[in-house]
Structure 1
Amino acid sequence: MSTPPPLLGATPDETLAAFVTRARADPGVVGLVLSGSQVHDGMVTALSDHDLHVVLRDRDASPLSGLDWFRSGHLDLVVLTLDEFRRRGLPGDAAAFSRYSYVHAKVLLDRLDGEIGAVLDRKRVLEPDEARAAAAGHLDAYVNQTYRSLKSFRDGRDALGHLDAAESVPYALEVVFALHRRVRPYNKYLRWELERQPLGDRREWSAERLLDVLRRILADGDPAAQRALFQDIERAARGAGHGDVLDAWGDDLRLLRPPSLSGGGPAGREGSRGSSGP
């Protein structure tokens, strides 16, 4: 027998309230977690729905398990077991990409004496060792992709250099946020994060500065913008103790630095480490 879908109210708020009442009456439900635009002040629009994570004791504990990935204009559901909830979004999980959805999430129901909230808190920030490993790995990939791009620009292959430059941006953002033990936000919330919870007090990580540089890189791969971003990231990465990752690139880094800092102008070697994948 299929699980009846949530009752749709006149508004998303009414639909959410009706479903929360239904879930509270179900002893197999141990937690309800709200995420998405509704937990980001100022991001709600007339078309915003509610993203709700329903945590069950186990798959057989509740008929609501049949509503996993239910979607409507009012309510989106993710239904998962407690064990799945504990792992979801963390390194090694198949849904590691979903971690940011928990960073600002709110607990609507916790029948486990605070465990739902504690699991959420583990997901909100990167542990020190986790942050260091993430920053190092993404830094190496970022340098690789930027080096590929600038080699193409150097060799007159601007369109291909643009493609590599665009692919460097996600790695760059992962590095910048990991250096601050932060989970990289979804692009939709990037400005929100930079303005509401700044990455320190350095100008290069302000919303105005960082988004302008990223727009220039994404627009056409602008080599000057790429080098400006690399200069900022190199300074921050070395300050955080990741000089070994950068130094492994040797003289290839000259190509990534502004001409005034590269010791005589951009240079690079074909067939070097940047020729292999990250």
Structure 2
Amino acid sequence: MTTDLVLPGWLPPAQQATLRSLAERNAAAHGEDLLGIVLSGSAARDHATVHSDVDVIVVLTDEAAAGRSTSHSPDVDEAVDSWTELQTRAPFGTEDWWFRWSYAWAPVLLDRTGGALADAVRRQATLTPEEADAVLVDHDRLDGWLNFAYRALKNDRDGRPLETRLDAAESVPWLLDVVFAMAGRVRPYNKYLPWELRTHPVDGWPSDVVLDLVQRTLAGDVGAVRETYARVREACASYDAARGHTRTTDMVEGWGDELPLFEQRAG
């Protein structure tokens, strides 16, 4: 079976040589049990620095993967996935959820499955409509964002600047889960947030707008919190219309008499 790799053009020659050697070594060790190789980490996204190594996921049959574990070297981190593991999408809130974004926009260097491996990689970093609903509503990420945003606004109203900043900052991870879940995507690791927003835009959330709101929110700017609320309300309406329900809008409306605090204007 072939071990010819499809390598991104941005990889330097030394890394390309390292990956070819890795592929040949795994092919020799596993034969037909080697199903594919996926590039991950900074190198996969043309985001590497002089300090970056190469992160690779070697996909093997279940039997072959049982005898392998992740290996580390100064140049390469070589993780191993079984075919079953790659096809299993961990639910939000479970230990393995954290790893799902490692497959986002990850180039498949070798696919011996006729495209099934590439499809499985794509599915890891995307959410079904039901998964998105679960993140937003069942796991309370939308309500959680509203809660921390509301606490920040109350603290500002009551003259507590440090407390305002703390709650505003704590709202940001919840907000990012909301933004990406509504787009049917797993939230990126913080390191890749600006990169993903700029290279793979989210409808309704322009990269410069999101990054500005995040930075101002982290600084305790309640104006940014209120601007974000207006965008979230609009996003909920669009999301619910596409899903054919009113679950996210109902969750926002459930705040009832507290909502005017989100809608106040400065001054």
TM-score (norm 2): 0.82
Query: Aligned-pair RMSD on alpha carbons?
Result: 2.4
Q: Indicate the residue corresponding to 2:36 in structure 1.
A: 31
The residue type paired with residue 252 of structure 1 is: E
Displacement, 1:91? 3.8
CA distance in 1, matches of 2:50, 2:75: 11
The residue type paired with residue 164 of structure 2 is: G
Instruction: Give the structure with the higher percent helix.
Output: 2
Per-residue deviation, residues 155-211 of structure 1 (Å, max 9, x unmatched): 2222122111111001111111122222222222222222222222x4xx2222221
Q: Is residue 153–residue 262 contact of structure 2 (8 Å, CA) maintained in 1?
A: yes
Of the three residues 140, 144, 148, the one matched with 1:141 is 144
CA distance in 1, matches of 2:192, 2:65: 33
CA distance in 2, matches of 1:90, 1:53: 21
Change (3 A) 1:209 1:92: closer
Q: Is residue 23–residue 29 contact of structure 1 (8 Å, CA) maintained in 2?
A: yes
Displacement, 1:243? 1.2
Range 141-150 or range 183-192, more displaced: 183-192
Q: Are residue 232 (structure 1) and residue 231 (structure 2) matched? A: yes
Change (3 A) 1:150 1:131: same
Q: Is residue 90–residue 96 contact of structure 1 (8 Å, CA) maintained in 2?
A: yes
Q: Indicate the residue corresponding to 1:209 in structure 2.
A: 209
CA distance in 2, matches of 1:29, 1:213: 45
What secondary structure is seen at the aligned counterpart in 1 of 2:227? helix
What secondary structure is seen at the aligned counterpart in 1 of 2:263? coil
CA distance in 1, matches of 2:119, 2:51: 31
Displacement, 1:62? 5.8
Pairwise mapping of residues 1-278 of structure 1 onto structure 2 (< 5 A)?
A: 11-25=14-28, 26-27=30-31, 28-41=33-46, 43-58=47-62, 61=64, 65-66=68-69, 68=70, 70-87=71-88, 89-91=90-92, 93-136=94-137, 137-200=140-203, 202=204, 205-219=205-219, 221-241=220-240, 242-259=248-265
Change (3 A) 1:98 1:80: same
Q: Is residue 38–residue 56 contact of structure 2 (8 Å, CA) maintained in 1?
A: yes
Q: Is residue 145–residue 175 contact of structure 2 (8 Å, CA) maintained in 1?
A: yes
Change (3 A) 1:64 1:18: farther
Q: Is residue 103–residue 123 contact of structure 1 (8 Å, CA) maintained in 2?
A: yes
Range 223-232 or range 103-112, more displaced: 103-112
Q: Is residue 227–residue 256 contact of structure 1 (8 Å, CA) maintained in 2?
A: yes
Displacement, 1:49? 1.7
Q: Is residue 65–residue 82 contact of structure 2 (8 Å, CA) maintained in 1?
A: no
TM-score (norm 1): 0.79
What secondary structure is seen at the aligned counterpart in 2 of 1:224? helix
CA distance in 1, matches of 2:218, 2:27: 46
Displacement, 1:250? 0.8
Identity value in percent: 40
Number of aligned residues: 244
Per-residue deviation, residues 33-61 of structure 1 (Å, max 9, x unmatched): 111222224x2333322111122223x52
CA distance in 1, matches of 2:216, 2:58: 41
